[in-house]
Amino acid sequence: MQISGAQMVIEALIAEGVEKVFGYPGGAIMNVYDEIYKQDKFEHILTRHEQAAVHAAEGYSKASGKVGVAMITSGPGFTNAVTGLADAYMDSIPLVVISGQVPMSLIGTDAFQEIDAVGISRSCTKHNYLVTDATELPRILKEAFYIAASGRPGPVHVDIPKDVTAQIAKFDYSIELDLETYKPHTKGNPRQIKKAMEAIAKAKRPLFYLGGGIINSNAAYEVRDLVHATGIPVVETFMARGTLSHDDEYLISMLGMHGSYAANMAMSETDLVIGLGARFDDRVTGKLSEFAKNAGVIHVDIDPASISKLVNADYPIVGDVKNVVEEMLKQSTNINPAKYASWREIIKNFDTLHPLTYHEDTDRLKPQWVIQRVGELLGDDANISTDVGQHQMWAAQFYPFTRPRQWISSGGLGTMGFGFPAAMGVKAASPDKVSINFTGDGSILMNCQELMTAVEKKLPVINIILNNNYLGMVRQWQTLFYEKRHSETDLSVQPDFVKLAEAFGGIGYRVTTKEEFDAALKDAIEKNIVAFIDVVVERLENVMPMVPAGGSLFNMMLLEKKEKK
Amino acid sequence: MEKSERRVISVIVVNEASVLSRITDLFSGRGYNITSLTVAPIPDSKYSRLTIVTSGSVRVIEQITKQLHKLIPVLKVYEHADLVEKEMALIKFPVSENITDISTLCGAYNGKIVNVGDNVIIVMVADEPKRVDNFLKIINKYNPKEIVRSGAVALER
Ligand SMILES: Cc1ncc(C[n+]2csc(CCOP(=O)(O)OP(=O)(O)O)c2C)c(N)n1
């Protein structure tokens, strides 16, 4: 079949089973957009900013487990998309991002809207390509999808000059991939797994430390089986929320900087850390030299470079966590869950001592209450996205997650502006669930233009703005570590969020009481259009507990106890 | 601070556009050292071989090899322990210097005179990097006008 490079892009997307493409057109990618116009196999969702297109593709991928696709033009289109690429790279989200480039004859001349896109994306993608001949396109696109989704997943960027999208060449997508330099190691070494299981059988206070890799490899249900078979308690990273259901008897909570006291103490007291798909991020470990000081470490990860990078692994296992956990499960029959009853009791006591909670004592709504309330009202019926800041941490702490892929948030990069577009992608992937975005009054202004996309494409995301008139998380650090010098974090001057939503054809609510909140949420769900619920919350609330950056996990700042009146 | 060691790493990569910048970007982006880097195609293959001389703690060197291996076009990464290592230097001297002495010295360091002009002679030596260091120290008294060194190339014994 002889077709144009632009047609090849379309044919490849169809062959890959792509159903949604998020993007924004422009000069260099116009040939491809012309072909998009002519087809009806997949839907193109026009976001109102390229950054949002990539975040939406991320949200789509996170919710569906498929490769997300974004399409952008050269120059400013591409540079706008870089934040999304970096975000996906840090959180190992499989994406294929296709950008237009100026024609080959103009490359290197500082042509209009030319930028060295592959040069820029090299450091924030798993792999990238500049396509210099259309005959290469079928192979490159096929490789791009394969590389994005296999091994440790990640974004792949394909930059295609305009003349290459116009070039006519042979298209054959049935080609076999021949990637002799790329062979992800998925199978976990059986001898290492056996040794790890022996270590588990010997341990007195073992602890599962679950990371986002479990969600990526769709291993959550296997992990649940392993946890229940062994009776070993569990801490989850921020990225792993939803691996176990919130009411699972073996789940302690999230660990790390804003993890629970019990989770962090368990990590400090354990004699064997069983790390599954977790990368020992500094927001999790706190001071490395004090992290799980007296424990052996089992570390299972698909990425050999993650293992022993920060914490030395006594039992390194390179492999897909799903395969490895299945194998561990087979070998777990000699472990008796009753054995760890007293260890679980110790942890329960930690939890009773300092439970994850907050004080309900002011006239204003507490942000934590809002999150819990959404949890009570919607629970499993909602997918939860967030922006970045205090609201994000409270959502991770207080939402009752019941399943993997319910929780979508920017972990590694911590990108303000992620939440709303990501929630649109989530809604596109999962239309039967309510798509909630918990956001802040700071974050929502980064990418609020997506109201237009959500209205046009009927993606009724409910943005719950936990409005504290501050860049709250930064304000918290200023309060705690900069003697309350609140430099440039006061957001007292604000837009009218209700009118903002309405100006785009969405719906807005301003809420100051519990009753108003319930009513607004109910109404927004019924009306089924994009909504801003602007919730006036306590201004000076802090996220607690907290391990100050670089501090030891067992040295947490705790919620101050209140005197009983 | 952990002890920093000098290491020689060979990398076999698919010979394609921008593969070299992938490698150098990895080093600069992650703050690794490059002391020297040489690269040339492997005859009759689609691969090139890079020899990288670097330094770092054991942990850093381990990360370097793992991260290199993660790059899609990288086929193999060798972290050499027992190897033969050679580096080359070209040195320009005024003809007025004692050419016989210089020539004899070159011979001791696997080298010779490679060019004689009206005003200058050019010599080359090819030897272990430490010995090249040594040679350059010794010939200082003959007023070398220009010195150029290559990176190292290495083969496992
Ligand atoms: C793009 C970007 N810029 C800056 C930051 C630094 N930052 C982290 S949290 C935060 C404050 C967020 O404020 P808001 O969205 O109002 O949420 P809150 O913390 O009040 O819940 C800032 C500025 C960031 N994470 N991302």
**DSSP result, A195-252:** HHHHHHHH-SSEEEEE-THHHHTT-HHHHHHHHHHHT--EEE-GGGTTSS-TT-TTEE
ipTM: 0.91
Is A291 annotated in the active site? Answer: no
**Domain with residues A190-353, CATH architecture:** 3-Layer(aba) Sandwich (3.40)
A181 touches chain B (CB under 8 A): yes
Question: Which chain A residues have a beta carbon less than 8 Å from that of B67?
Answer: 305
The whole-angstrom separation of Cα B69 and Cα B54 is 16
- pLDDT number for residue B1: 63
Q: Which of A50, A222, A327, A541 is catalytic?
A: A50
Q: What are phi and psi of A135, to 5 degrees?
A: -60, -20
Chain A 307-346, residues with CB within 8 Å of chain B CB atoms: 308-309
Expressed in angstroms and rounded, the spacing between residue A283 Cα and the centre of ligand 1 is: 16
Q: What angle do CA B55, B59, B61 make, to 5 degrees?
A: 35
Going by C-alpha positions, the residue among A180, A52, A32 that lies closest to residue A461 is: A52
Where exactly does CATH 3.40.50.1220 map onto chain A? 190-353
| Correct CATH for A2-170 of 3.30.1280.10, 3.40.50.720, 3.40.50.300, 3.40.50.970 | 3.40.50.970
- pLDDT number for residue A254: 98
Going by C-alpha positions, the residue among A454, A452, A482, A477 that lies closest to residue A393 is: A477
Q: What are phi and psi of B84, to 5 degrees?
A: -100, 130
Using alpha carbons, list the distances in angstroms from residue A71 to A56, A85, A299, A451, B48: 11, 12, 37, 20, 33
Is A450 annotated in the active site? Answer: no
The whole-angstrom separation of Cα B94 and Cα A378 is 86
- pLDDT number for residue A57: 98
Is A50 annotated in the active site? Answer: yes
- pLDDT number for residue B40: 95
Going by C-alpha positions, the residue among A192, A184, A189, A190 that lies closest to residue A213 is: A184
Token output for B31? 């703050």
Q: What angle do CA B55, B58, B63 make, to 5 degrees?
A: 85
Expressed in angstroms and rounded, the spacing between residue A88 Cα and the centre of ligand 1 is: 18
Q: Is the N-terminal amide bond of A545 cis, ω within 30° of 0?
A: yes
Where exactly does CATH 3.40.50.970 map onto chain A? 2-170, 367-536
How many A×B Cβ pairs under 8 Å?
35
- pLDDT tens digits for chain A (565 residues)? 899 999 999 999 999 999 999 999 999 999 999 999 999 999 999 999 999 999 999 999 999 999 999 999 999 999 999 999 999 999 999 999 999 999 999 999 999 999 999 999 999 999 999 999 999 999 999 999 999 999 999 999 999 999 999 999 999 999 999 899 999 999 999 999 999 999 999 999 999 999 999 999 999 999 999 999 999 999 999 999 999 999 999 999 999 999 999 999 999 999 999 999 999 999 999 999 999 999 999 999 999 999 999 999 999 999 999 999 999 999 999 899 999 999 999 999 999 999 999 999 778 999 999 999 999 999 999 999 999 999 999 999 999 999 999 999 999 999 999 999 999 999 999 999 999 999 999 999 999 999 999 999 999 999 999 999 999 999 999 999 999 999 999 999 999 999 999 999 999 999 999 999 999 999 999 999 999 999 999 999 999 999 999 999 999 999 988 765 4
Chain B residues bordering chain A (beta-carbon distance below 8 Å): 13-14, 17-18, 21-22, 25, 29, 59, 62-63, 66-67, 69-70, 72-75
pTM here is 0.96
Ligand 1 mutation target, pool A80, A438, A443, A492, most atoms within 8 A of CB: A443
Question: Which chain A residues have a beta carbon less than 8 Å from that of B46?
Answer: none
Going by C-alpha positions, the residue among A155, A134, A120, A281 that lies closest to residue A209 is: A281
Task: With cut-offs at 50, 70 and 90, classify the pLDDT of residue B99.
Answer: very high
DSSP state of B74: E
- pLDDT number for residue A201: 94
| Correct CATH for A367-536 of 3.40.50.970, 3.30.930.10, 3.40.190.10, 3.30.360.10 | 3.40.50.970
* 3-class DSSP assignment, residue A41: coil
Atom of ligand 1 nearest to the CA of A83: 1
* 3-class DSSP assignment, residue A276: strand
Expressed in angstroms and rounded, the spacing between residue A266 Cα and the centre of ligand 1 is: 30
- The helix or strand, by DSSP H or E, that contains position A325, with its residue range, turns out to be helix A321-330
- pLDDT number for residue A563: 64
Nearest CA in chain B to A156: B72
DSSP state of A177: P
Going by C-alpha positions, the residue among A185, A239, A246 that lies closest to residue A210 is: A239
Residues B65-91 have pLDDT tens digits of: 999 999 999 999 999 889 999 999 999
Is A406 annotated in the active site? Answer: no
Nearest CA in chain B to A127: B72
Going by C-alpha positions, the residue among A133, A129, A135, A123 that lies closest to residue A96 is: A129
